[in-house]
Amino acid sequence: MSFKLTILGTSSALPTSDRYPSAHVLNVHERLFLIDCGEGTQMQMRRFRLRFAKINHIFISHLHGDHIFGLYPLLSSLNLMGRREKLNIYAPEPFEELITRHLADFDINLGYELLIHPLKGSTPRLILSDRRVEVTSFPLRHRVTAYGFIFREKPGENKIKKDKISEFHFTVAEMVKLKKGEDIVRDDGSVISVEAVTVPPPSPRSYAYCSDTGYFKKLSTYVGGVDLLYHEATFGSEHAALALQTGHSTASQAAKVARDANVRKLIIGHFSARYRSPDQLEEEARVIFPATEAAREGQCYEILPGGGFKE
């Protein structure tokens, strides 16, 4: 089952001729989760053949234009396409007030229901849980209220070895228990251990998204141990003072978070338009955390079951 990230935008507030503002799409078991929605997001989705109808959850890190200006036309397009399914949006307050006013100002009557989930709090908080995935928000440090997100795949079921089914003649009820990781105790007192007759599922996969944020040490505890970390790297170290002033991070600071969090792979993005190429920022980050890549539009990162990446 898929656990794949597609990068739609890598620029900071000022887009360039080949870099769009922030937007990512995460495919978890063929369900798409949109994370931030900068200008041009729906154009990028069409370009990279991502199906609009598969998006039922949108996560907005904060209410700056380069992370939200693509949302308004996307909602309108979904309406024109005849959407009827409910759409969940997770965003800091006062997003609900903003979207309500926008729909009224432009006389847009949606044929589907918007469910707005306000992001709040100063500690990590579970905001979505279903049978496939859990999503947790956590506070960032920016000029306005901002949140990051962690997507964690829920553990799968144990797989019963085929030869053991015929050997032990398991009932349906027993197989259900084994798949859940429970031992079987039969009427005669014999015990069939789950380890002896099943194969454990692959380790759950995880992805963390840290959009606009200044560096702070506690951030690494929020994203500790994830497989794939996206962290903004707006500037190089030569502009560390500007990063501090504007509530952003340098490439080396992003790498420190990845190193201290013991993540498996780091993707940096949200590049200032002053950098024609992100190569300089990638090289800076790799000095501290070698498993770093600069995000590029259309790049996909698939976390494979049991570990490993496919790009």
Residue 151: name the closest of 96, 94, 204, 98 by CA: 204
Residue 37: name the closest of 4, 1, 2, 76 by CA: 76
Structural tokens at position 137: 């928000």
For the question of residue 163 being annotated catalytic, the response is no
Residue 303: name the closest of 226, 202, 203, 227 by CA: 227
Return all residues near 247 (Cβ < 8 A) that are at least 6 apart.
141, 142, 143, 212, 213, 214
Structural tokens at position 13: 């507030």
Residue type, 251: A
Q: Choosing from 36, 66, 212, 227, which is the catalytic residue? A: 66
Structural tokens at position 76: 């309108």
Residue type, 247: G
Q: How many Å apart are CA 212 and CA 231, to the nearest integer?
A: 8
Provide φ and ψ at 72, rounded to 5°. -60, -50
Residue type, 205: R
Q: Which residues form the catalytic set?
A: 66
